[in-house]
Amino acid sequence: MLTPPRKLVLVNAVQQPLSRPAWQELRPDRTPNDTAARLSGQLQIHAATTAHVDLLADWQEQLDRTDEAAPRVAEQSAPVARFALKDLRSSIIFDGDRPIALYSAENDTLRFQSNEAPQHTFRDTKHRVVRYRAVSTSRFGEYFPPDVAGGFTRTSDEIVVRIPASARPAVPRLHYVVPTFGWQRHGETNLVASRRLGGGLRAYLDRPWFSSGEGELLGVVLMSRSFEDDAEQDRLRPFVSQWAADPVFSQFLRTEPSVFFQLPNAVTNARDVILPEMPGGIRVDVAGHTVAYDAARGLWYCDIQAEQPGYYPFVRLALARYQPNALPNAQLSRVVLADFVQPAPDRTAVLTFDPDNPDLCSLTVSASGYAGTADLDGAFQSDSTAIEVSVEVQRPEIGGDLGWTPAPAGATSVLIDEQRAGIGVLWRGRITLPAGRTPGRFRLVIKEFESWFDDAAAASIAAPKPLLKPRRLVYAETILL
């Protein structure tokens, strides 16, 4: 009572903010050719115990630099913004001198939108999948030792945001396209099945990839089904994929227009994609395919599976880089046209052993073929492929692939029951094998040949003994017996 009063301020200091920051939403905003992204959203905080909130970002960068031996993935991180909560009586939050968010005391949240939004600068236009987290720092760190256990921060859960690409991808640098096929084999019972899966095409592409960032695909550009007018199709031919029947063969074809494709390997199918150089603003369909890196060739490649419209059709692919996570006018690069390629057709061979006689088996070869070929004047000539079936035996003194030779005459027999052109069964027959054979010493060999007219064969048609037409091997399979 004899001394002047002294005002005491009691601080209930907490080592960390009383609650973790929590994202309510976060979304990117990007304009064409923008090298940064503005982040709009809302963050729940505990402002009374928080001095500032740091916005941090982590992501994986897909790098394919031509001065490095191979592409790689690099982990990246960066600070994006700091929300300084100095004076809670003001609703405007600053990052340095820049207003960056609005604080709402009613629900204890930071809102950033429009011009008051943090900006994440990337210095390029690529698409990225970024993991953002908010780190709140306590207001009361000065009341604790600097090395106190547990620290002074609390961190939110990560929120994943896709930053869209803001510019068109680069044109793919196509090396070549080759036909491919795979095999499915089954032989666990008295039935042995082998299937050649045709219709495959592999496109090889030069480095670098990921010109538009993570998730860049190779797109097969297709004409939209909404354009059936012949004039419109003619205008679009330089920009879309097409197939056509080989005029040499009389084929059994699907009836739908040749500009449409069924591509089962596509990981995404997009309709009405903008291609700016298309005439009249017409849009296209895109079937996006993943790419992989071939370290031996030093090239990227993409496997494209196309449903076969006929026997060895001519296919010309229109290819472009496709970035599904991009602004509407920036999803597709310019189109590059591949050379015509003829994908191989499917073939299925089924060998069935007689349950009562293991030395007798039946073979069926089926798929789609052709009904005839064109002669020198283009007229139809009934013809088809020729399938030859034989049995081979391995000479043990040689071994390996070179040790297989035709089985001795009389030891085996092949009886043809059916051989025809068309779709379905192309060849059916019965094979008799040697009695008491050693498993694995004999094998069945199936070969299919096309026959062709050449100048010599054509000149000999009227001769007493015409020359045989040259042949081309189009299918071969071996089945170990």
> 128-182, pLDDT tens digit by residue?
999 999 999 999 999 999 899 999 999 999 999 999 999 999 999 999 999 998 8
Same domain, residue pair 298 and 231: yes
Residue the block writes with tokens 């191979």: 70
Domain check: are 208 and 244 in the same one? yes
Shared-domain flag, residues 281 and 311:
yes
Q: Could you tell me where the DSSP H helices lie in 203-323?
A: 230-236
pLDDT digits (tens, 9 = 90+) for 370-413: 777 766 666 667 777 889 999 999 988 887 888 899 998 888 88
Number of independent structural domains in the chain: 3
Residue 247 structural domain: 174-182+198-337
Residue 406 lies in a domain: yes
Partners of 268 in the beta sheet?
Answer: 288
| One domain for residues 256 and 294 | yes
User: Which residues, 6 or more positions from 276, have their beta carbon under 8 angstroms from its beta carbon?
Assistant: 168, 329
Residues 255 and 225 in one domain: yes
- The answer as to whether 189 is a domain residue is no
Q: In this structure, is residue 11 part of a structural domain? A: no
Most confident among 220-229, 338-347, 430-439 (mean pLDDT): 338-347
Helix (H, G, I), strand (E, B), or coil: what is residue 311?
coil
Domain boundary among 317, 337, 357: 337
Show the tokens assigned to 473.
């091997």
Strand partners, 315: 243, 341
Amino acid 313: pLDDT = 86
What is the rounded distance in angstroms from the CA atom of residue 280 to the CA atom of residue 298?
A: 39
Is 28 in the same domain as 155? yes
Tell me the pLDDT band of 258, cut-offs 50, 70 and 90.
Answer: very low
State how far the Cα of 380 lies from the Cα of 375, in Å rounded to an integer.
7
HSE, CB side, 13 Å, CA atoms: give it for residue 1. 0
Tally of residues, the chain: 481
Residue 304's nearest CA partner among 274, 273, 267, 339 is 267
Asked if residue 436 and residue 355 are part of one domain, the reply reads yes
Say whether both 211 and 155 belong to one domain: no
Instruction: Look at residue 3 and tell me if it is in a domain.
Output: no
- With beta carbons less than 8 A apart as the criterion, state whether 271 and 224 touch: yes
CB burial readout 357-380, b (16+ within 10 A) else e: eeeebbbbbbbbbbbbbbeeeeee
DSSP state of 142: G
- Last residue in a domain, options 337, 365, 388: 337
- Name the pTM for this structure: 0.85
Q: What is the CATH number of the domain that holds 126?
A: 2.60.40
Report the candidate in 298, 334, 336, 339 with the shortest Cα–Cα distance to residue 316: 339
Last residue of a domain, one of 304, 337, 370: 337
- The set of long-range contacts for 404-412, using a CB threshold of 8 Å and a minimum separation of 24, is 404/443, 407/434, 407/442, 412/442
Taking the mean position of all CA atoms in its chain, how far away is CA 85? 47
Same domain for 158 and 109, yes or no, is yes
Whether residue 319 is found in the same domain as residue 390: no
